[in-house]
Amino acid sequence: MAYDKFNILKSTAVPLPLENVDTDQIIPARFLKAIERKGFGDNLFRDWRYNSDNTVKESFVLNNPIYKGEILVGGKNFGSGSSREHAAWAVYDYGFRCVVSSFFADIFRNNCLNVGVLPVQVSDGFSDKIFNAIYKDANTEIEINLPNQSIAILSTGEQEFFEINSYKKENMLNGFDDIDYLQNIKGDIEAFANGLLL
Amino acid sequence: MSKTLFDKVWDSHVVKKIDGGPDVFFIDRHFIHEVTSPVAFLGLKSRGLGVLYPERTFATADHNTPTINQHLPVEDPLSANQLKALEDNSNEYGISHWGLGHHKNGIVHVVGPENGITFPGATIVCGDSHTSTHGAFGAIAFGIGTSEVEMVLSTQCIMQPKPKKMRINVNGELGKGVTPKDVALYTISQLSTSGATGYFVEYAGDVFENMTMEGRMTVCNLSIEMGARGGMIAPDETTFKYLKDKPLSLKGEAWDKAVTHWKTLKTDADATFDKELTFNAIDIEPMITYGTNPGMGIGISKHIPDADAVEGGSVTYKKSLDYMGYQENDVMIGKKVDYVFLGSCTNGRIEDFRAFASIVKGKKKAEGLTAWLVPGSHEVEDKIKSEGILDIITEAGFTLRQPGCSACLAMNDDKIPAGKYAVSTSNRNFEGRQGPGSRTLLASPLVAAAAAITGVVTDPRNLL
């Protein structure tokens, strides 16, 4: 599914400094029953955002009006658990274009890249700096520069570079996805398949 | 150049390498289910694409299906809608579909191997992270997202960077009451839920060599719970014996030829891994989890660790214990259990039911406890009946449900109520995983059976 191009994103950020945030928290399984990709943002972090009677849990960060923006800053090992792409859809649909963490679970990271959410992995030290800056001033802006592969805290000028493979980077910059690429090499794929025993 | 088992299978499936990017990776077998495939088919339709090799994809309904009264229409309209979408899409594109009510229906990672769809050296994916199960056969098998399901349907390929390689050796002989589930939970507790992220694992050593295929599947299934994309075990006579004469296994000369090839699928003596870990079987006891991720496991006789003794943030650790209603230093033995769930792609196979029956035989289900015993497939269900296990569990006051994922992820009505404790043979103890507010203790079928007859966490070694 095509998504918006990603180039430079400058935004305030939402801090969620818990570790091991799993995909069942990002979107609980009971909300995976749609057969279309829409509306998943409403149920992002459903059980942390709402009580069982659907009243708002004031203490959860997404319900705190001080914190907003298109960047979600999570704790270590963000997105562990299931392969549900719905987790990445929910993050995107809620309005985040970038998730920052000092460590991502594999499948979640991969899913993000496939749906237009940029996962930015930073060092533990830089992660602490971001949290500190946001807690000091919720209006702190973070700049994600994909062409330069850099992330900066604008209030302090601190900056770090992040990794992304050049293929995925091109895709994100242009809003392409893997199917566009694979369709173009179908001949190679068919030739390969013809040589298989099973 | 020397190669690992993983290298041999991976490298033989690379259609094309991209400089500075992922490999174009060919997929031999693709499983789909009702929850993560509908949007992939929508994607195909919106792009006007077809399914390139429908004979390489297999559909089964499992995630949201009811485990009682499967002959009746599915009550939940959203679930019914997903099941219908799977059936319609399969029919439209010529994909074999084992829907609800079909005699081959069951959990995707149970029915794949038992029908011989899985084979050594294969590359296997599914929109489900526990696809790692199939690695037990020496296949590279892992979970993918829905965008990738669409890629596989339309091109039979996905784009993946080759993961790093890790070998986990467990040597020696397992003690009484120690099962493959305990080996896996022990390993995860040693590595944490992110300790193998970025790696593909090979399991080696006596313990895995001596395991049955069911046990190997349990171990490989849980690879994802330490962050690994997947885990695999070199195919051997145990593997070939399991697969021979399965409905979709090769037959005759083709079988013999395949076995000759499969015998070459092992790590060369001088091949190297990016990381290698070795554990001793003697250090492993029956395991149980006390927290809200599968890495929070301990030997059943142990105390819950102090926050200080645990790596990582104590805020996260304390939040987890609060959710569970436990304290640091609590002893797990004797903790109250309200529910027991035997089943899932982790422990829903015939051996798991045999293990459960070995403990409950001649005893009675604890009063007030609810037990859900859910076979992984109709084939498992049939064996439970033909082997006399149904009689044993019925005599002990238990009932058998119908196949499906059930309370593992509680997408159907099998939900553990808020605040209640469940000893579960499944794979994840995340907050709310088994129903909003549910509290999960992951354990083996033996530990589950011991809890089911005592109503509290009990060391199964005292009952064997």
Reported as a single tens digit per residue, the pLDDT across B273-319 is 999 999 999 999 999 999 999 999 999 999 999 988 887 668 899 99
- Asked if residue B239 belongs to a domain, the reply is yes
- pLDDT for B167-190, tens place per residue? 999 999 999 999 999 999 999 999
Q: Which residues of chain A are within 8 Å of residue B433 when distances are taken between CB atoms?
A: 24, 29
Q: Which residues of chain A are within 8 Å of residue B49 when distances are taken between CB atoms?
A: 179, 183
Residues B3 and B94 in one domain: yes
pLDDT at B312: 62
Residues B309 and B226 in one domain: no
Q: Which residues of chain A are within 8 Å of residue B197 when distances are taken between CB atoms?
A: 77, 103-106
- Smallest CA-to-CA distance from B302 within B280, B326, B324, B330 is with B330
Q: Which residues of chain B are within 8 Å of residue A80 when distances are taken between CB atoms?
A: 193-194, 227, 293
Residues B155 and B43 in one domain: yes
Residues B247 and B317 in one domain: no
Residue with tokens 């051997």: B236
- Asked if residue B78 belongs to a domain, the reply is yes
Domain CATH code at residue B384: 3.30.499.10
Residues B247 and B321 in one domain: no
Residue B341 gets which letter from DSSP? Answer: E
What is the DSSP track for B275-295?
EEEEEEGGG---EEE-SSSTT
- Asked if B432 lies within 8 A of A24 by C-beta distance, the reply is yes
Contact A76/A102 with Cβ under 8 angstroms? yes
Measured distance CA(A25)–CA(A77) in Å, rounded: 13
Question: Domain end: B270, B298, B327, which one?
Answer: B270
Contact B158/B151 with Cβ under 8 angstroms? yes
Stretch 163-202 of chain B: residues touching chain A, C-beta under 8 Å:
163, 193-194, 197-198
Spatial strand order in the sheet of B164-171:
B230-232, B199-204, B164-171, B275-280
- Smallest CA-to-CA distance from A3 within A62, A66, A91, A72 is with A91
* Beta strands B57-60; B29-32: pairing state: parallel
Spans of chain B, pLDDT less than 70: 312-313
Contact B346/B424 with Cβ under 8 angstroms? no
Does A11 touch chain B if contact means CB atoms closer than 8 Å? no
A2: confidence class by pLDDT, cuts 50, 70, 90: low
ipTM passes above 0.90: yes
Per-residue b/e over B300-324, b at no fewer than 16 CB within 10 Å? beeebbebeebebbeebbebbbeeb
- Smallest CA-to-CA distance from A81 within B182, B143, B341, B413 is with B143
- Asked if B42 lies within 8 A of A35 by C-beta distance, the reply is yes
Does A82 touch chain B if contact means CB atoms closer than 8 Å? yes
Chains A & B: contacts with CB separation below 8 Å = 209
Per-residue b/e over B262-279, b at no fewer than 16 CB within 10 Å? beebbbeeebebeeebeb
Tokens of B327: 């304290």
Measured distance CA(B115)–CA(A146) in Å, rounded: 47
Report which residue type is found at A49: R
- Asked if residue B280 belongs to a domain, the reply is no
Residues B225 and B299 in one domain: no
CA dihedral B357, B362, B365, B371 (to 10 degrees): 20
A188: confidence class by pLDDT, cuts 50, 70, 90: very high
Question: Domain end: B221, B239, B270, which one?
Answer: B270
Contact B392/B408 with Cβ under 8 angstroms? no
Q: Which residues of chain B are within 8 Å of residue A19 when distances are taken between CB atoms?
A: 312-313, 316
Residues B117 and B254 in one domain: yes
Average predicted confidence (pLDDT) for chain A: 96
pLDDT at A198: 83
- Asked if residue B193 belongs to a domain, the reply is no
What chain A holds in terms of domains, given with CATH numbers, is: 8-194 (3.20.19.10)
- Asked if residue B317 belongs to a domain, the reply is yes
Q: Is A115 helix (H, G, I), strand (E, B) or coil?
A: helix
- Asked if residue B376 belongs to a domain, the reply is yes
- pLDDT for A99-108, tens place per residue? 999 999 999 9
What's the length of chain A?
Answer: 198
The yes-or-no verdict on residue A50 having pLDDT over 60 is yes
pLDDT at B198: 96
Q: Is B14 helix (H, G, I), strand (E, B) or coil?
A: strand
Predicted model pTM: 0.97
pLDDT at A161: 98
pLDDT at B360: 98
Give the burial class of A138: count Cβ atoms within 10 A of its Cβ; 0-12 exposed, 13-18 middle, 19 or more buried: middle
Residue A43 gets which letter from DSSP? Answer: G
Q: How many helices and strands in chain B, by DSSP H and E?
A: 16, 18
Stretch 212-241 of chain B: residues touching chain A, C-beta under 8 Å:
224, 227, 229
Tokens of B348: 């829903």
pLDDT at B309: 81
Smallest Cβ–Cβ distance between B430 and the set A1, A22, A198 belongs to A22
Give the burial class of B54: count Cβ atoms within 10 A of its Cβ; 0-12 exposed, 13-18 middle, 19 or more buried: middle
Question: Domain end: B270, B296, B317, which one?
Answer: B270
Residues B212 and B263 in one domain: yes
- pLDDT for A109-140, tens place per residue? 999 999 999 999 999 999 999 999 999 999 99
Tokens of B191: 């590595």
Q: Is B440 helix (H, G, I), strand (E, B) or coil?
A: strand
Residues B252 and B358 in one domain: no
Residues B210 and B356 in one domain: no
Q: Which residues of chain B are within 8 Å of residue A115 when distances are taken between CB atoms?
A: 145, 147
- Asked if residue B411 belongs to a domain, the reply is yes
Mutation target among B316, B323, B346, B412 for the A interface, most CBs of A within 10 A? B316
The yes-or-no verdict on residue A1 having pLDDT over 60 is no
Q: Is B55 helix (H, G, I), strand (E, B) or coil?
A: helix
- Asked if residue B362 belongs to a domain, the reply is yes
Residue in B with minimal Cα distance to A47: B436
Q: Which residues of chain B are within 8 Å of residue A75 when distances are taken between CB atoms?
A: 313, 316
- pLDDT for B184-230, tens place per residue? 999 999 999 999 999 999 999 999 999 999 999 999 999 999 999 99
Domain count along chain B: 2
Residues B109 and B55 in one domain: yes
Tokens of B232: 């695999």
Note down the domain range covering B435.
287-462
Residues B247 and B358 in one domain: no
